Structure 1
Amino acid sequence: MSTLPVSRYPVPELANLPADIRDKILAVQEKAGFVPNVFLTLAHRPAEFRAFFAYHDALMEKDEGLTKAEREMIVVATSGANNCLYCVVAHGAILRIRAKNPRVADQLATNYLKAEITPRQRAMLDFAMKLALDSGAVGDEDIAAVKAHGFDDEAVWDIGAITAFFAMSNRLANLTGMRPNDEFFLMGRLPKG
């Protein structure tokens, strides 16, 4: 296990956190078996913690328009482009599990153009990557191109909102020097036996 700090910023003690934040962290620990460092890092600022996770959950925990695996694909590909180690590692683990594919996260983080994905998913990521890397150039033709692959207006919004939210998250992770938990590196790589 790593002895490196979780963050450049102080990480509060669980006992000193507001009850709602402590309860959320304990619930995540119960489900995952560990506390992802993003929860500990963002607990430094409770109001921002609440806002961050409310928006995160609104974007990432629904199934309409995009699958949960597709939502994670957007995070991993754009986080790779933004050089965010924490989000690539953490969301790569979630993607491997949700996609039931131990290869796809590494492929997307490195070069989504060569990943084992469908043409529909490629169109989704083409759009997300343009928005992540050159948002001022996104136009009606880009939206038409992604809609031609079966995405409706709400799904296009989700692709854009996930891309934008994680652009902010990537920058916070890099600002704080947030370290990926060791547990993430092995998750979803081998079939459960």
Structure 2
Amino acid sequence: MEEVESKGGFLPNVFKVLSHRPAEFRAFFSYYNELMNKETGRLTKADRELIVVATSRHNKCLYCVVSHGALHRIYSKNPTLSDQVVIDYEKAVLQPRERAMLDFAMAVCRADAITERHFKSLEEAGFDREDAWDIAAIAAFFAMSNRLAHLTDMQPNLEFYSMGRVPRDKRKDSDK
């Protein structure tokens, strides 16, 4: 937690809340890192964050929408797309691969029956079955995370709201 606070300049509330149960905290963040920080497959870090934003919006999780919207803005260098997805992902200005990815993630999120048509749409957008697993695993993991955020009334840190919108003060960063 000290490393996260030192690197980001603040400690995200999710760390504070989930540290209530240390063993579960470690398991949660171990799986989080496996899903969100891997360098394999065709999903970028920005793609992964966009999945979290869309599915967390559906699950009405303010914490995840705000915090992962900030991460999406940073990774994508796009200050508006995550906001569009929060309002209505179906009307957001998405690339065809992003649309296919979010359509699949939302089908998993809603617990729709997953059919070959879903996999074909992903394949037509350049994804394979391993990518489909990653998309589904992210949607499923964050469904659990969203429920824990609801249980604890987890609120986004104020810092998340401006991340990726306002340039960081490099002088403040160099003082650390």
Give the TM-score normalised by structure 2: 0.92
Q: Deviations over 1:3-58 (max 9, x none)?
A: xxxxxxxxxxxxxxxxxxxxxx0010011000000000000001110110000000
Aligned residue among 105, 113, 132 for 1:156: 132
Question: d(CA) in 2 for partners of 1:51 and 1:97?
Answer: 26
Match of 1:141 in 2: 117
Aligned residue among 69, 92, 103 for 1:115: 92
Match of 1:61 in 2: 37
Match of 1:167 in 2: 143
Compute the displacement of 1:114 (Å): 1.8
Amino acid corresponding to residue 120 of structure 2 in structure 1: A
Question: d(CA) in 2 for partners of 1:63 and 1:147?
Answer: 20
Question: d(CA) in 1 for partners of 2:69 and 2:98?
Answer: 16
Question: d(CA) in 2 for partners of 1:43 and 1:76?
Answer: 23
Runs (5+) with no aligned partner, structure 1: 1-24
Structure 1 residues 86-105: aligned runs within 5 Å: 86-105=63-82
Deviating beyond 6 angstroms after TM superposition, the runs of 4 or more aligned structure 1 residues are none
Q: Say if 1:96 and 1:188, in contact at 8 Å, map to a contact too.
A: yes
The size of the alignment, in residue pairs, is 168
Q: Say if 1:102 and 1:190, in contact at 8 Å, map to a contact too.
A: no
Compute the displacement of 1:116 (Å): 2.4
Compute the displacement of 1:136 (Å): 4.3
Q: Say if 1:131 and 1:138, in contact at 8 Å, map to a contact too.
A: yes
Question: d(CA) in 2 for partners of 1:39 and 1:162?
Answer: 19
Question: d(CA) in 2 for partners of 1:179 and 1:44?
Answer: 16
Amino acid corresponding to residue 130 of structure 2 in structure 1: E
Equivalent residue of 2:137, what SS? Answer: helix
Give the TM-score normalised by structure 1: 0.84
Runs (5+) with no aligned partner, structure 2: 170-176
Equivalent residue of 1:102, what SS? Answer: coil
Question: d(CA) in 2 for partners of 1:63 and 1:104?
Answer: 23
RMSD (Å), alpha carbons? 1.2
Match of 1:183 in 2: 159
Aligned residue among 37, 48, 51 for 1:74: 51
